Structure formats: structure tokens, C-alpha cells
Amino acid sequence: MFSASCHYGIQAMMCIARHYSANDNIELTKIAAEYDIPKHFLSKILQQLVKGKLLKSTKGPSGGYRLIRHPDKIALIDIVEVIDGTDVFYDCGIGFKKCDDSDPCPFHDDYKVVREKVKNLFETKTLGELNKDPAVSGSILPIL
């Protein structure tokens, strides 16, 4: 449903949110190594998030990235919007160009329900919530 860039962007933002501080930065190399994301690729994604006003980038010995807003104020849809855009929440599930409510494909009505649930989830789940979830402390997410 989402691009690899978007998946990596969400993972990186979760990592940065876990270490949220108004003054501390997380280094690109740490995020890239922990999540096994090519450094150059991750750098481009994080720059998109800087341009999208979700991250601040600082150069130098204590440089890196940090959130512009508190993790509780950044919903997953904010990240998706910057990286992939929100068309995924409106496009046809099987790729028809002219599929909509007035001219639906055979899959439209069923997929619309699922798509709206996913959109609602991404609108309501914040980075702060995801990092408070007990599953976060499990083995799936690396702790930097």
C-alpha cells in the first residue's frame, strides 16, 4: 500500500520519537544501522521530512535529526503525506483510473471500507502512541 520510502520514513520517525528531546539529535548513521536502511536512501527520506516540516536537521559534531513537534502531535498520516501523498487513501484498490462512487469497479465498495479504516488509523495514531504501545518494548524494534 505504501512505498519503501514511506515505510522507512515511518520507522525512522518512530526511532527519532523514541528519543524525543527538544535539544538532542539522532545521527543518521545510528538509524540506518539499526534499521538496516541504506544510509544514502535514508538521508533522502529524512530530507523530505525536513522539507515537510516534521524534522529539524543539524550539521556538525552533535548533528543529526530531531522532531519539530512533540511525538504526540505527529500522526502517521503526516509522514505518509510528506513522502507518498494521500492518493493511496482514495485510489482504486485494483488500479482502475476512473473508479469512484459514481462509477465503481467490482472491488470498490468492499475496498472503500478497508481504505477508510486504514486512513482513520493513520489519522489518529501518533508517534507518541506507537512508542507507548507495549509491543514497542518487544523485540521487533531496536533500541538505540
What does the pLDDT read at residue 123? 97
Separation in Å, CA 87 to CA 5, 28, 52, 62, 91? 15, 29, 17, 37, 6
Q: Kindly state whether residue 117 falls inside one of the protein's structural domains.
A: yes
Q: Kindly state whether residue 140 falls inside one of the protein's structural domains.
A: no
Q: Kindly state whether residue 141 falls inside one of the protein's structural domains.
A: no
10 Å Cβ neighbour count for 118? 15
What is the distance between the alpha carbons of residues 49 and 31, in angstroms, rounded to a whole number? 15
Residue given cell 488500479 in the structure block: 95
Q: Kindly state whether residue 144 falls inside one of the protein's structural domains.
A: no
Q: How many domains, in total, are found in the chain?
A: 1
Residue 66 has pLDDT above 50, yes or no: yes
Q: Kindly state whether residue 104 falls inside one of the protein's structural domains.
A: yes
What is the distance between the alpha carbons of residues 6 and 61, in angstroms, rounded to a whole number? 28
What is the distance between the alpha carbons of residues 52 and 49, in angstroms, rounded to a whole number? 5
Percent of the chain with pLDDT over 90: 76
Full-model pTM:
0.87
Residue given cell 533522502 in the structure block: 44
Instruction: Residue 58: give its domain's CATH number.
Output: 1.10.10.10
What does the pLDDT read at residue 139? 46
